[in-house]
Amino acid sequence: MADPRTLRGLIVDYGGVLDDPADGALLLAYARRAAAAGIRTALFSGAHAVPDEVAAAFGTVLLGAVRGARKPSPDSFAAAAAELGLPAGDCVVVDDMGACVRGAAAAGAVGVRHTGAETTLGELEVLLGVPARD
């Protein structure tokens, strides 16, 4: 298992992860707690726009292609990590699409496939060392 002291970045997808009213609110609260604990956070989505309140929960917002690469390309996840000033291997990527989780893992990141907030929060707590709840 990854050492939480080496994972310093959290990259989260919007569609299928943060756009659900119940799950999204829990994951946004986690992103805020992670940022307060010193984790660098990014919202990374293929969408052209996201709600302002969602974007405000992240230190970096990346929409569409990043440095010419699009999800699920491993290059896109490496570029997203670089936008945080980190190597991909220092990041956890949360996405609901298996192809994107595989792309993130191919870039060297730890991929978490989102199927529900409780499972995802449990994984993030272990990987980042930030409590799932206040």
Global pTM exceeds 0.75: yes
pLDDT in tens, 40-87: 999 999 998 999 999 999 999 999 988 889 999 999 999 999 999 999
Residues 108/87, Cβ–Cβ less than 8 Å: yes
132 pLDDT tier (thresholds 50, 70, 90): very high
Q: Is the pLDDT of residue 130 over 90?
A: yes
Structure token digits, residue 57: 């929960």
Percent of the chain with pLDDT over 70: 96
Residue spans of alpha helices (H) in 1-134: 21-36, 52-55, 74-83, 98-107, 117-128
Query: Which residues 6+ apart lie within 8 Å of 36 measured at CB?
Result: none
> Helices H, strands E: what count in the chain?
5, 5
Task: Give the burial class of 53: count Cβ atoms within 10 A of its Cβ; 0-12 exposed, 13-18 middle, 19 or more buried.
Answer: exposed
Instruction: Report the 10 Å Cβ neighbour count for 21.
Output: 6
3-state secondary structure of 69: strand
**Average pLDDT across the chain, whole number:** 94
